[in-house]
Structure 1
Amino acid sequence: MNFTKFPRRNYLQGPTPIEPMPALSKVLGKDVNLYIKRDDLLPGAGGGNKTRKLEFCMADALEKKANAIITCGAVQSNHARLTASWSAKEGLDCHLVLEERVKGSYKTDASGNNFLFELLGVKSITVVAGGSDMMAEMGKKADELTAAGQKPYIIPGGASNTIGATGYAACAEEMMTQLNDMRLKINHIVVPSGSAGTHAGMVVGMTGVNGNIPISGVNVSRAKNVQEDIVYKLAVDTAERLDIKGGVKREDIVCFDQYVGPGYSIPTDAMVEAVKLFAKNEAILLDPVYSGKTAAGLIDIVRKGHFSKGSNVLFLHTGGSPALYAYMDTFRQ
């Protein structure tokens, strides 16, 4: 795959580690060897997967001479935090449109990412009701900024368009280089599946390098059929952008939707258990919305014997631990 034809910032500081998780593997007791790709260690204020996507999105914004960035997310959005982070580094104004997916969940004095938006100098925060048309809401802010003489650039939620997903196609290539260097055979990869850019990009990248490693997404919000269709469409468009011959196949997009619980960002007992298991056994912090629910799915399907004995399974940790501090009561119950 040739990424040199796209504008790209140099936010990464080399590959993120791939580490074994022997203690957690032993606790689960199913003769499945768990590994983790530590994208929680990516640069940016608090780390996380969106830095890979923003390398491409922010470069596109700068090439278009933008001086203000607009993006959206939930009230504790990791993507919003990292967009604010890289906007600050680039000297660009950052404006956030936050969707209150759980009524009453936005609090101006909240901890977690909410507090970090303040520290990172976000210029404005607009809170809209759950179910709002987020592109339309960001369009309103763009019109307002344009009328004030600024040149805004809109990054969609999760930076999950073909530009952002390109960052995870590049991640798949990075991962395969690491696995080859480590002489480590991975039988399956498990990733979070939310706004779809990470999941789609990984499938596209794995196709592009002929990695032939199956990838499963664990949904954090939508039903299986809906999520798979969203991921597939973005994967097809991203593969076309990268000139990948043959594109991606529909059967390559697989999601598990049993671990969403009552809804996006709403805690589940399985998520709490997963966060505690990772912390106590591997000293790895997950987040309560994405990596926590994805880890809950990983743990459950391992326990149910989904993977054959002796399998090596790689978990993609997308970061987000700053959000933990907004959920302290959940973990202390």
Structure 2
Amino acid sequence: MRINDLPRVKLAVLPTPLEPLKNLSKELGGPQIYIKRDDMTGLATGGNKTRILEFILGDALNLGADIIVTGANPQSNFLRQTTAATRKLGIDLLLVISDKKPQEINGNLLLTTIMGAEIRFVGGHEDDLEPKMEEIAQELRELGHTPFIIHRFGSVPKGATAYVNAFNELESQIKQRGLEINKVLVSSAAGTYGGLCLGSIAANSDIEVMGIAISERKDNWEQNLTDLINGTANHLGLNIEFRPDDINVKIDYIGNGYAIPTEGMIKAIKLVAKTEGVLLDPIYTGKGMAGLIDLIKKEVFTEDDKVVFWHTGGVPSLFPPQFRQLFT
């Protein structure tokens, strides 16, 4: 595996903690649950994207970039972490944000603004930002800059590589502590899930990796995910062929769509906060934990299982009013 040979910058505080959730496990009466704390990766309240940015920004600097261009919605965890990473590295950044500038600046957008990001609000939907980012990058080239565009929140082989590495980190923690983990659950159906899944396969591990989808699945999503995993394997020089039938992602906990609350999510966030003092977010990990709780009730996970719930961060998403009101 060529991970150690790839361009990389140090951004995250690693390894992140692996902690038992004893009170939650007792409350649910099912498997022994652990939590992998990637909400503690260090930059601007942490999150899974910090690991991913180590490889993507490492590549950008290796190519001589002097400004990063990327885009998403106003409350994007990815934009918050990208802003923090570029501040740490001393490289310029231009964020292309869908929608209009909101009247109230809060949550992730507040943190991004505090860190001094240059922001262009361009309207529309975040799925349509790619042409605008390309246009802005061309403007920057004409001004003498060397821009580097980060596409689709880092869900590319260079980004997924970070979670192949993260699986290796988890395995080391498991072995050092003599644990018998047999399941990993993560709120992802893209790069984070794909990287963990590939990491498990590459390590010949018996640990099953399960993803929980948190947004509507588009046509051909299974093939797109398969292509991402195989592209990552190729990027790392691994002779692995992943198939759509190998995907282990549950799509039952999306509700009415991305960032639309579900009753299960609300209950899950409250339960984990009350039993463990751990805060989940309403978009990703809240729905992921709702999935875990439901799967325990359905005995998909039993008392014999030992499950790692991968906390991908996102706590600032609790603070915008549409989510804040759910808990007050």
Which band: TM-score by shorter chain? over 0.9
Question: What residue number does 1:145 align with?
Answer: 140
- For 1:32 and 1:300, how far apart are their aligned partners in 2? 12
- The reply to whether residue 4 of structure 1 matches residue 1 of structure 2 is no
CA RMSD of aligned residues (A): 1.7
Task: State the partner residue of 1:37.
Answer: 36
Q: Relative to structure 1, is the Cα distance of residues 252 and 213 closer, same or farther in structure 2, using a 3 angstrom cutoff? A: farther
SS at match of 1:258: coil
Indicate if the aligned counterparts of 1:53 and 1:164 stay in contact, CA closer than 8 A: yes
CA deviation after TM superposition for structure 1 residue 319, in Å: 0.4
Q: What displacement does 1:71 show? A: 1.3
- Does 2:167 align with 1:169? no
Q: TM-score, normalised by structure 1?
A: 0.93
Name structure 2 gaps, 5 residues minimum.
Answer: none
Q: Does 1:113 align with 2:113?
A: no
- SS of residue in 1 equivalent to 2:187: strand
Match of 1:234 in 2: 228
The runs of at least 4 aligned residues of structure 1 exceeding 6 Å deviation read: none
Q: Does 1:330 align with 2:326?
A: yes
* Equivalent residue, structure 1, for 2:199: 205
Segments of structure 1 that go 5 or more residues without pairing to the other structure are none
Residue 294 of structure 2 is aligned with which of 279, 286, 300?
300
Q: CA deviation at 1:224?
A: 8.5
Which residue of 216, 219, 222 maps to 2:216? 222
C-alpha distance in 2 between matches for 1:239 and 1:98: 31
Closer, same or farther: CA 154–224 of 1 in aligned 2, 3 Å = closer
CA distance in 2, matches of 1:205, 1:128: 38
Partner of 2:175: 180
Q: Is the 8 A contact 2:72 2:126 kept in 1?
A: no
Find the aligned partners of 1:127 and 1:295 in 2 and give their Cα distance: 34
Q: Percent identity?
A: 38
Structure 1 Cα separation of the partners of residues 93 and 263 of structure 2:
35
1:17-166 alignment runs, 5 A limit: 17-29=17-29, 31-100=30-99, 107-130=102-125, 132-166=127-161
CA–CA separation in structure 2 for the residues paired with 1:71 and 1:146: 15
Q: Distance in 2 between matches of 1:42 and 1:2?
A: 23
Residues 296 and 302, structure 2, Cα contact 8 Å, conserved in 1? no
Is the alpha carbon distance of 1:317 and 1:135 closer, same or farther for their aligned partners in structure 2, counting shifts above 3 Å? same
Please give the alpha-carbon distance, in whole angstroms, between the structure 1 residues aligned to 2:219 and 2:272.
29
Q: What are the superposed Cα offsets for residues 284-322 of structure 1, whole Å, 9 maximum, x if unpaired?
A: 111111111111111111111111332111111000111
Distance 1:164 1:133 in 2: 21
Contact 2:181 2:308 in 1 (8 A): yes
- Amino acid paired to 2:62: E
C-alpha distance in structure 1 between counterparts of 2:221 and 2:207, whole Å: 20
- Alignment TM-score, normalising by the size of structure 2: 0.94
Partners of 2:35 and 2:44 in 1: CA distance: 21
How many residue pairs were aligned?
A: 326
Q: Following TM superposition, by how much is the alpha carbon of 1:82 offset from its aligned partner in structure 2, in angstroms?
A: 0.3
- CA–CA separation in structure 2 for the residues paired with 1:291 and 1:239: 26
